[in-house]
Structure 1
Amino acid sequence: MKYLAAYLLLNASGATPSADKVKAVLESVGIEAEEDKVSALLSSLEGKSVDELIVEGNEKLAAVPAAGPATGSAGAAAGSSEGAAEEAAAEEEAEESDDDMGFGLFD
C-alpha cells in the first residue's frame, strides 16, 4: 500500500511516477524502499490511468460480502437476550448499593 500511495501522490502532483521518484517519496518519510516492490508496482500499473485503477478497486470492493459475519451473530444475540436482562438487573442492584452508602453521583 505504501508504494501505491507514493505512486498516487506523485501522480496527483502532476509528476510522472518513476522508480526513483517513488523511492524518493518513501525515503522522505523514513521508509526504506525495496527495489523489487517498486519495479513490480510500476510494471503492474504500466499503461493504466488512475481512473482505471479506481474503477478496478471499486469492483474488487463490491465483490466483498458485507453481511457475512453479522448474520451469524444475529442468532447468538437473540439467544442471549435473557442473559443481558440478568446482567442489567445485576447492574441496577450494584447502583442501588452506592446509594445505601450515603452518597450518590450528583450529591
Structure 2
Amino acid sequence: MASSDELACVYAALILADDQVAITSDKIATILKAAGVSVEPYWPSLFAKALDGVNVKEMISNISSGVGAAPAAAAAPAGQAAAPADDKKAAKKEEKKEESESDEDMGFGLFD
C-alpha cells in the first residue's frame, strides 16, 4: 500500500501534469509546501526522475491499453487450444438442456 508521502507526491505530479507544467522536484516540493504536507526530502526528486520525459496525461488516458495488452495476447494462444474441448462440452450441455425442455418430458403440449 502506498504511504502518505507517495500519495502526496503523486497528487502533486498530477496537478503539475494537469496544468501542463514540467514535473520537477522543486515544483513538487512547492505544491506540497503550499498544501501543508511534509514528506521525506527524497520523494519529490524520486518522482521527478521517474516522470522525466513521460507524458503523464497520455499515460493515464492509455492505461488500459498498455497494461492489459500483454496478458491478453499471452492468454489468447492458450485459450485457443482449449476452445475445441470447451465447444464440445457446451454442445453437450445445450443438447441436455434441449432434451429436458421438450414438451414430451412434461407429458403435455402447448396446444393440447
Normalized against structure 1, the TM-score is what? 0.47
Normalized against structure 2, the TM-score is what? 0.46
